[in-house]
Homo-oligomer: A and B are copies of this chain.
């Protein structure tokens, strides 16, 4: 297997995790360690990574010396806010260029606002950022984001925080087939098999937060996800057996989708 390479840096782990929704920083630390993740994404608008020098700092339990801190724009609903937020993050993180852009459509679905996402991506790429970008599972716009110069496209599998799993593997498959940058599923994974399915489709990695933090036992689930990502990746590389069905391939069943 080749390692995951994003913007020229290679990573052994294909599991990326968020840092929110944990009970406390101790649980954050323990679950993050159990996940084996090397890239930890942080919502700059919500999490203290130094903006407030007097409050507990996430970086104390997820130190940049050990993890790649990936600032994200959760909570931004237009391009301008997202761009501003990431410029602030760059300062806080000593000039690091790798960021995750997400521009949300509304606060109920957290579905991406794609027109604003495209606009922000252009501005950020021009401004020298390495942009990983949360997007819908639209193969045409995923390609546009790649052409703009994003270093990874991150389609949702289902709504953020929903745990509904991979709702449309077909669209993900179209995105993966066309992409020349890494494709990471971002949002929607609910349990280990969802993560395995994403990898079996040929995704390069998966980013998740609620599936781990929202489990009854987050640390154990983090470990489960670590194994599931590896399992799905190996299964993808091993080349699964063909499906065969004993009934004659009558038209109603032929190519029956998910």
User: Which residue numbers of A lie inside 8 Å of B, CB to CB?
Assistant: 105-106, 108-115, 118, 136, 138-141, 143-144, 158-159, 161-165, 167-171, 173-174, 177, 190-193, 195-197, 200-202, 210-211, 214-218, 220-221, 223-228, 230-248, 250-258
Q: How far is the CB of A141 from chain B (nearest CB, A)?
A: 6
Q: Which 6 A-B pairs have the closest CB atoms?
A: A216-B239, A105-B140, A214-B241, A224-B234, A243-B255, A192-B235
Q: How far is the CB of A18 from chain B (nearest CB, A)?
A: 13
Copies in the complex: 4
Do residues A200 and B193 form an inter-chain contact, with CB atoms below 8 A?
yes
Do residues A242 and B192 form an inter-chain contact, with CB atoms below 8 A?
no
Q: How far is the CB of A179 from chain B (nearest CB, A)?
A: 12
Q: Which of B161, B218, B253 contacts A173 (CB 8 A)?
A: B253
A216 / chain B contacts, CB cutoff of 8 Å: 238-239
Q: How far is the CB of A158 from chain B (nearest CB, A)?
A: 7
A113 / chain B contacts, CB cutoff of 8 Å: 140
A191/B240 contact (C-beta < 8 A), A162-B245, A257-B167 known: yes
Do residues A215 and B243 form an inter-chain contact, with CB atoms below 8 A?
no
A162, A167, A247: residue with the most chain B Cβ atoms closer than 10 Å: A247
